[in-house]
Structures are given as structure tokens and as C-alpha cells.
Amino acid sequence: MVAVEVDLAGATSAPQAARSALRSLCADQIHGDLLLDAELLIGELATNALIDGRRRVILIAHLADDHLFVEVIEEVPGVDPDRREKDPQPVAAGGGLDVVDDLSSRWGVHDGTTHVWFELQR
């Protein structure tokens, strides 16, 4: 398993830094749509973290043989607990979590936090 952890520091460049870190981790191991989806999802979550709080944001990504697992941790409480599990019912359009819901294999939020994770099958 290959892993990376990056402190994005809550700067406006956090989405680009997150995509860049992810690309550095796995661009030579995953390709095409999977890499594009991963970059899109990580950018959405980093952007959400900035919009929600402009606080410290940490990216943790693990690349295993069969999946990519990514966490974006924002040091601010407050994601809607009703959004913490992927639900087969349609989700209202207009936000980064909707994109995560559409593209990820699985995703969730740790209870009472803004610690969001997603997984993409390879």
C-alpha cells in the first residue's frame, strides 16, 4: 500500500495542492477516468473544507491493490449527520458531496465531524 498525508493549511490553494498530492501518489499506478475522478473528488472535498471553515485541512490517501481510499479532515465540527452514509436515494444537486456520492464506490463522514472519506475501486 502507498500512502500520503498532506497538511493543506486551509489556504485557497488547498484544492490544487490536494489534486497535486494525489497525482504524485498515484499517477503512475492509476490512469484515465479513475485518476480524473479521484482528482475531481479530492478537489471538491478540499473546496468544501475551505468554504465551510477556512481552517486547517489535512488530506490522507492510501492506494491499495484494489482501491484508492481518501480522507479530507477539516478541523471544524459540523457536517450534516444525515449525509454521513451513501444512500441509494437521489441527493439534491449543487454541492461537492453530491459529486462524491455520484462517483465514489463508498463514502462517509465520521459522526459529528467534517472528516469526510471516499473510496474508489480500481
Which CATH number is 30's domain given? 3.30.565.10
Q: Is the pLDDT of residue 37 over 90?
A: yes
Q: How many domains does the chain have?
A: 1
Give pLDDT, residue 116. 87
Q: Is the pLDDT of residue 90 over 80?
A: no
Give pLDDT, residue 84. 41
Rounded to whole angstroms, how far apart are CA atoms 58 and 45?
11
Start-to-end C-alpha separation, the chain: 13
Q: Is the pLDDT of residue 33 over 70?
A: yes
**Mean pLDDT value of segment 1-27:** 80
pTM for this predicted structure: 0.74
**Mean pLDDT value of segment 31-49:** 86
Q: Is the pLDDT of residue 29 over 80?
A: yes
The C-alpha angle 2, 39, 67, rounded to 5 degrees, equals 40
Are 24 and 4 a contacting pair, CB within 8 Å? yes
pLDDT, tens digit (0-9, with 9 covering 90-100), for 45-74: 888 777 765 567 788 888 888 999 998 887
Give pLDDT, residue 41. 92
Helix ranges (DSSP H) in the chain: 14-26, 32-52, 96-103
- Tell me which residue range forms the domain holding 93: 2-121
**Mean pLDDT value of segment 72-81:** 61
Q: What is the grid cell recorded at 17?
A: 495542492
- Mean pLDDT (the chain, rounded): 77
